[in-house]
Amino acid sequence: MKVLVTGGAGFIGSAVVRKLVSQQLADVVTVDALTYAGNMASLAPVMEAPQHRFVRADIRDGAAMASLLEKEAPDAVMHLAAESHVDRSIDGPAAFIDTNIVGTYTLLEAVRGYWSGLPLPRKEAFRFHHVSTDEVYGSLGPSGAFKETTAYAPNSPYSASKAASDHLVRAWHHTYGLPVVTTNCSNNYGPYQFPEKLIPLMILNGLEDKPLPVYGAGANIRDWLHVEDHADALWLVLTRGMPGQVYNIGGDAERRNIDVVRLICDLLDDLVPSGKSRHELITFVTDRPGHDARYAMDISRISGELGWRPRHSFESGLRQTVDWYLGNRNWWEAVRTGRYAGNRLGLGANGVSTAPAGAP
Ligand code: NAD
C-alpha cells in the first residue's frame, strides 16, 4: 500500500509518517510546503528509509498536486496539511482560509481527478482521510461530550476554517462518491510538537527559567491525546473505517490548563531540579479572545466499531514528553532560536505583543 501524507513534516503528520514507515505498514510519500511549522528534522528517523520519499509542494497548487498523484499513484491520501494554531488565526485569518479551505478544496479536486481514472478495484479501495479537530463543535458547558452528531459551532477563525474543510470533504463524498473518512480529534501532545502550543511552550520556558504564561485563570478544559495514540487511531480509521463516516478521537484525559501547567512544573522539578520550583514561574496573562471553555470527546464510535482506545495515560504520556524534550535539545533549540522564540500570539494585533504565549 502506498500512502500520500500531506503536512507530513508537521507535528501529527510526522508522527504518522514515522509510524507507517518504521512499522513497515506502507510506502509513504510525504508532501509538505514547509511553512514555519514544517520541520524536516522531525522526519530524520525515516529520511533514509527506501519506502519513504519527501516532496516539497503546496496543497494550494492544483497542478502540482495532480501531477504528483499521477506520478506516485497512491492508494490513499491522509490530509493533515493545515494552518493549525488558533492564536495565529486570530492575528491573521487569511492564511487559514487559503490553506485550510481553498487548499483542501484544491487537493480534493486533484484527488477526484486522479481517483476517477483508477481501475475499479483500486477506485473502490481508495481512501481520502481528512484529519480535523474537536474545535469544529464549539464549546461545552461543565458536562457532556462531543459526539460525531453534535452540531457544528466553530468559534475561532481556525475552527471555522477546519469546519468548512470538513463540509467540503463530506460534500465530495456525497456528490462525487469520493471514498472519504474524516476524524475529529482533541488536543494532541507529545514529541516533536512546535513550541507555540501549550505543553512544549511550558516545558521549554520552565527549562529556561522563563515565565509560564497561563491564559485567564487557567480554568479552560481540554482533552489531551498523545500523538502516538492519535497516529494509531488514524491508521485504524484509514484501513478499517467506513467510507463517508466520521470518527471522534480523544485521549480520555480532560484537564484544566492550570493543572496541566502544574503537572509540568512537578515533572521538571523532579527530572531537572533547580534552585527554585517551576511553580513560581506561573504567571496569569490576558485571556485569548473568545476562548472556548471546555472540550471533551465521546469516543464510543471508534472504540465500539474499531476497538481503539488511547494507550497512554496523561500522566505517563506527559512524563515521556518532558523526557523527550530533555533528550532532544537540538530539535527545539533550532526552532526557538530561529522561527519562534515564544512571543505572545493571538491578541488580534498581528502578533505585535512580545509577551510569551500560553494556551493550546
Ligand atoms: P502543524 O502545524 O504541526 O503541521 C502542519 C503541517 O502542514 C506543517 O508541516 C506545514 O508545513 C504543512 N503545511 C501548511 N500549509 C501547507 C500547504 N499549503 N501545503 C502543504 N503543506 C502545508 O499541525 P499539526 O498539529 O500536526 O496538525 C495536523 C492536522 O491535525 C491539522 O489539520 C490540524 O488542524 C489537525 N489537528 C491538530 C490538533 C493538535 O492538537 N495539534 C488537534 C486537532 C486537529
pLDDT in tens, 34-89: 999 999 999 999 999 999 999 999 999 999 999 999 999 999 999 999 999 999 99
How does residue 163 score in pLDDT terms, banded at 50, 70 and 90?
very high
pLDDT confidence of residue 122:
98
pLDDT of residue 353: 35
Residue 360: predicted pLDDT: 61
Question: Which positions ≥6 away from 48 have C-beta within 8 Å?
Answer: none
pLDDT tens-digit series, residues 338-359: 776 677 677 775 433 333 445 5
Long-range pairs for 118-126: beta carbons < 8 A, 24 or more residues apart: 122/75, 124/179, 125/75, 126/75, 126/76, 126/179
* Long-range contacts (CB closer than 8 Å, 24 or more residues apart) made by 66-74: 66/110, 66/113, 66/114, 68/4, 68/29, 68/31, 69/4, 69/110, 69/111, 69/113, 69/114, 70/114, 72/2, 72/4, 72/29, 73/2, 74/2, 74/3, 74/4, 74/29
Q: Distance (Å, rounded) from C-alpha 175 to C-alpha 105?
A: 14
Kindly tell me if the per-residue pLDDT of 328 is higher than 50: yes
Expressed in angstroms and rounded, the spacing between residue 218 Cα and the centre of ligand 1 is 25
For residue 323, being part of any structural domain is answered with no
| pLDDT score of 103 more than 60 | yes
Residue 275 Cα to ligand 1 midpoint, Å, equals 38
78 in any annotated domain: yes
Instruction: Give the count of beta carbons closer than 10 Å to the beta carbon of residue 50.
Output: 7
CA separation, residue 141 to residues 44, 220, 311, 332 (Å): 42, 11, 27, 36
Percent of the chain with pLDDT over 90: 91
Q: What's residue 343's pLDDT?
A: 74
Cβ contact 230:12 at 8 Å = yes
Domain holding 189, by residue range, is 2-194+225-255+290-314
The closest-lying atom of ligand 1 relative to the alpha carbon of residue 360 is 40
Q: How far is CA 151 from CA 11, 216, 306, in A?
A: 28, 27, 23
Atom of ligand 1 lying closest to residue 158 CA: 34
pLDDT at 350: 47
CATH classification at residue 10? 3.40.50.720
Q: Is residue 325 part of a domain?
A: no
Q: Relative to the CA of 99, which ligand 1 atom is closest?
A: 18
Q: Which of 105, 114, 137, 158 is catalytic?
A: 158
Catalytic pick from 83, 91, 135, 228?
A: 135
Q: Tell whether the model's pLDDT for residue 248 goes beyond 90.
A: yes
Total domains in the chain come to 1
Model pLDDT, residue 327 = 97
Cell of 257: 490548563
Alpha-carbon distance 81 to 33, whole Å? Answer: 8
Is 281 within the bounds of a domain?
no
Report if residue 276 sits inside a domain: no
Pairwise CA distance, residues 224 & 296, whole Å = 9
The pLDDT value given to residue 354 = 32
Q: Which residue owns the Cα nearest ligand 1 atom 15?
A: 82
248 CA → ligand 1 middle, Å: 18
Q: What is the pTM of this model?
A: 0.95
Q: Is residue 182 part of a domain?
A: yes
Query: Is residue 98 a part of any domain in this protein?
Result: yes
In the reported structure, the alpha carbon of residue 84 is separated from the centroid of ligand 1 by a whole-number distance in angstroms of 5
Which range is least confidently modeled, 170-179, 267-276, 339-348? 339-348
Residue 328 falls within a domain, yes or no? Answer: no
Around Cβ 97, how many Cβ atoms within 10 Å?
16
Model confidence pLDDT, tens digit, residues 110-142: 999 999 999 999 999 999 999 999 999 999 999
Tell me if residue 134 is catalytic. yes
Write the pLDDT tens digit of every residue in 277-317. Answer: 999 999 999 998 989 999 999 999 999 999 999 999 999 99
The reply to whether 135 belongs to the active site is yes
Lowest-confidence range among 244-253, 260-269, 333-342?
Answer: 333-342
